[in-house]
Chain A
Amino acid sequence: MNRTIALAFLASGLMGIAGCSQEKGASFSAGQAVASVGQDFALQSVSVSFPPDKTAEFPAGAGADAINNNCRACHSPAMILTQPPLKHEEWVKEIDKMRTTFKAPVNDADVPAILAYLDNLSARQNEGSLAAPGGAATTK
């Protein structure tokens, strides 16, 4: 098959990008004083609500109680459910990081059960039987 680049690439000018001009360029300085936002621009107070977590609990499984009790205070279960398959030692390190750096109050007695849950999560992901964490906050 003839895939020489000279033949394969057509004149790129054909593509005609809209507004393909060379404005600004080298003389551009990000510090120069300009603003397309007028002096009448005003900021309005904002008050919103963040949506609830659709997957507020870890899916059932051995150790689910332990992980639900210790690993939801600071982030959605999705933070953990979307991790790539991790090795046992990597999960151990993550739990240590949560406790030492982020001051997660984790019960010593719960650690083996949390690890069992996490190891199982990685095993299921490796075998391809893990569903996408739900939590789409809307339906379409």
Chain B
Amino acid sequence: MDRFNHPPGRMTRRSLLGATGVAGLALMTARSWAQSLYNLGLPGKLSVRPLTTAFPQKGEMVLQRTRPPLLETPMEVFNVGTITPNDRFFVRWHWAAVPEAVDEAAFRLKVRGHVDKEIELTLDQILHDFERIEYQAINQCSGNSRGLFQPSVAGGEWGNGAMGNALWTGIRLKDVLDRAGVKSGAVDVRMGGLDEALMPDAPKFLKSLAVDHARDGEVMIAFAMNKEQLPLLNGFPLRLVVPGWYSTYWVKMLTDIEVLDHPDDQFWMAKAYQIPKTPFGNIAPGTKDFPKEPINRMVPRSFVTNLKDGQLVKPAAPLAISGIAMGGDAGVAKVELSIDDGKSWSAASLGADGGKYAFRRFAGSIATPVSGTMTILARCTNNNGIAQPPAMIWNPGGYMQCGIERTRITVGGGV
């Protein structure tokens, strides 16, 4: 029985039977039948997850883990526009001590460490005492698509939905740092949220940016997401926005900013989230010794969103293809499509430009074959001339997947 080759997406009872097998069914309670399940299309491993609407301020999400919450955005959401709605935006926490309540009046953002004077800002000050900035930016988990890694690696087994694009409004991190006065000799700026480690001597989740990056005028302390306050699970009341960089730096419930006069060498910077120092963080599976660096800038990706892998289509007919692309740390220059496994490419047309850090839609059309199957490839190239690599990349952390996606279609009778 082939339990892995099912088209991803919401499952019917019949595809569920195929996917879990008889032994699997015996383990399921009658109650499970009432749940909607979602197949992430993960190769060589358990690929099915429950869909849930039980999380506060969240719509229907793919449930990866209840505590601490890991919620994935179903791919259908990306077939609508370029902005990911707040209630469908993916959720990712490391430690389960996430507060369930935040008091607007009591909340403070502290700036301390290697500064002229430590400061504490109220939310009212943050909203009214600083110049506001606003831009669209993609927030993508470092481990987005980890579940698609072959060979598999341990970690959060995401499909492609640990990403989203929002319009962020807030103030410059630079302006807040200037108010405290960064002393010369500052090296890193370390961010912490209201979430805490569960063991007293275990590493609290903290992330740092080099001081020049922190002061580049783009890094934002956001108080609004798509013109509304952030859902608690996405970091209410304040979240760092580091455009063009992976989500691990976008510290949620940001409450503490510490300027360091030395490189941040704590666990979450020095041990976790390390990538090989190679193009696209790619190494041959199984490679043990390689130079590492903390994950940083994002790279281009593109996804066909109007078709599901394995979709049945009409024979010898035009087939519309559309999807979303991201340039990573630079804008989308072009998206191309191929139906001959990358031997030749044809440019897709691009949708509205929401800025260099935003999703951009693409569209094209192909003629379907008379019979059989066809594989559609989409490739994004960014404004720095960086194109997606031809094959899926690999590294032991399961980070930075960016290989060209392949969408198979099958010509089917009666479609």
**Residues in B269-318 with C-beta less than 8 Å from chain A:** 271, 318
**Residues in A1-22 with C-beta less than 8 Å from chain B:** 1, 3, 5, 7-22
Q: List 24 A-B contacts (CB under 8 A).
A: A1-B370, A5-B340, A8-B367, A10-B367, A21-B353, A30-B355, A33-B133, A36-B169, A41-B127, A44-B104, A48-B57, A48-B101, A54-B50, A73-B198, A76-B66, A81-B46, A128-B21, A129-B23, A130-B27, A131-B32, A132-B24, A134-B50, A139-B35, A140-B35
CA distance A33 to B320 in the complex (A): 39
CA distance A79 to B103 in the complex (A): 30
B104 with A43: CB separation less than 8 A: yes
B356 with A140: CB separation less than 8 A: no
**Residues in B76-107 with C-beta less than 8 Å from chain A:** 95-96, 98, 100-105
CA distance A72 to B172 in the complex (A): 40
A84 with B153: CB separation less than 8 A: yes
* B121 lies within 8 A of chain A by Cβ: no
A30 in contact with B133 given A13-B349, A102-B199 (CB within 8 Å): yes
Measured between beta carbons, the chain B residues less than 8 angstroms from A59 are 27
Measured between beta carbons, the chain A residues less than 8 angstroms from B45 are 84-85, 125
Number of chain B residues whose Cβ lies closer than 8 Å to a Cβ of chain A: 117
* B359 lies within 8 A of chain A by Cβ: no
Chain A residue with the shortest CB-CB distance to B364: A12
Measured between beta carbons, the chain B residues less than 8 angstroms from A104 are 199
> Which of B111-119, B176-184, B229-237, B257-265 contacts its partner?
B229-237
A35 in contact with B132 given A45-B104, A102-B202, A103-B199 (CB within 8 Å): yes
B67 with A75: CB separation less than 8 A: yes
Q: Mark B17-29, 1 if CB is under 8 A from A, else 0.
A: 0001101110111
CA distance A48 to B98 in the complex (A): 11
A53 in contact with B67 given A15-B320, A84-B44, A125-B46 (CB within 8 Å): yes
Known: A45-B102, A130-B27, A137-B55. 8 other contacts (CB 8 A): A1-B370, A16-B363, A26-B331, A36-B167, A36-B169, A50-B100, A82-B157, A139-B31
Q: Mark B213-243, 1 if CB is under 8 A from A, else 0.
A: 0001110100110010100100011000001
A8 with B63: CB separation less than 8 A: no
Expressed in whole angstroms, the minimum distance between the Cβ of A91 and any Cβ of chain B is 9
B349 with A20: CB separation less than 8 A: yes
B364 with A8: CB separation less than 8 A: no
B227 with A37: CB separation less than 8 A: yes
Chain A at the B interface: SS class: loop
CA distance A132 to B227 in the complex (A): 37
CA distance A139 to B29 in the complex (A): 13
A43 in contact with B229 given A1-B370, A10-B367 (CB within 8 Å): yes
Measured between beta carbons, the chain A residues less than 8 angstroms from B320 are 15
A84 in contact with B154 given A36-B227, A53-B66 (CB within 8 Å): yes
A94 in contact with B154 given A21-B352, A37-B224 (CB within 8 Å): yes
Expressed in whole angstroms, the minimum distance between the Cβ of A47 and any Cβ of chain B is 4
CA distance A130 to B21 in the complex (A): 8
Expressed in whole angstroms, the minimum distance between the Cβ of A57 and any Cβ of chain B is 13
B66 with A135: CB separation less than 8 A: yes
Q: Mark A91-129, 1 if CB is under 8 A from B, else 0.
A: 000100000011111000000000000000000110011
Q: List 10 A-B pairs, minimum CB-CB distance, nearest first.
A: A136-B50, A137-B54, A84-B152, A48-B56, A129-B23, A15-B363, A31-B217, A35-B132, A47-B101, A103-B199
B322 with A15: CB separation less than 8 A: yes
Measured between beta carbons, the chain A residues less than 8 angstroms from B52 are 51, 136-138
B365 with A45: CB separation less than 8 A: no
* B186 lies within 8 A of chain A by Cβ: no
Expressed in whole angstroms, the minimum distance between the Cβ of B88 and any Cβ of chain A is 15
CA distance A24 to B355 in the complex (A): 6
Measured between beta carbons, the chain B residues less than 8 angstroms from A45 are 101-105
* B137 lies within 8 A of chain A by Cβ: yes
Chain B residue with the shortest CB-CB distance to A102: B202
CA distance A39 to B33 in the complex (A): 49
Chain B residue with the shortest CB-CB distance to A32: B133
* B187 lies within 8 A of chain A by Cβ: no
Q: Which of A52, A81, A105, A133 has the largest number of chain B CB atoms within 10 A? A: A133
Q: Which of A9, A54, A81, A103 has the largest number of chain B CB atoms within 10 A? A: A9
Expressed in whole angstroms, the minimum distance between the Cβ of B238 and any Cβ of chain A is 9
